[in-house]
Copies of this chain bind each other. A is one copy, B any other.
Amino acid sequence: MRVLVPFDCQTPKTRLAPVLDDDGRHAFARAMFDDVLSTVREAGHDPTVLATGPLECSAPVTVDERPLTAAVNDALASASRPVTVVVADLALLTPDAVTRLTDCRGDVVVSPGLGGGTNALVVRHPEFRVDYHGVSYRDHCERARAVGAEVTTVDSFRLSVDVDEPSDLVEVLLHADGAASDWLREAGFTLVEREGRTVAAQSADLE
Residues in A lying within 8 Å of B, measured CB to CB: 94, 96-97, 100, 112, 114-116, 134-135, 137-138, 155-160, 167, 170-171, 174-175, 191, 193, 197-198
Partner of A159, one of B94, B115, B157: B157
B-side contacts of A135, CB under 8 Å: 174, 191, 193, 198
B-side contacts of A170, CB under 8 Å: 115-116
**CB closest chain-B residue, reference A160:** B157
Give Cα A115–Cα B97 distance, bound, in whole angstroms.
20
**A112–B174 contact, CB under 8 A?**
yes
Give Cα A40–Cα B188 distance, bound, in whole angstroms.
42
B-side contacts of A115, CB under 8 Å: 167, 170-171, 197-198
**B191–A116 contact, CB under 8 A?**
yes
**A193–B134 contact, CB under 8 A?**
yes
**CB closest chain-B residue, reference A195:** B15
Extra A-B contacts (9), CB below 8 Å, given A114-B171, A115-B167, A157-B159? A100-B155, A112-B175, A116-B174, A134-B198, A135-B174, A135-B191, A155-B156, A155-B157, A157-B160
B-side contacts of A96, CB under 8 Å: 155
**B157–A112 contact, CB under 8 A?**
yes
Q: How far apart are A152's CB and chain B's nearest CB, in angstroms? A: 12
Give Cα A115–Cα B112 distance, bound, in whole angstroms.
18
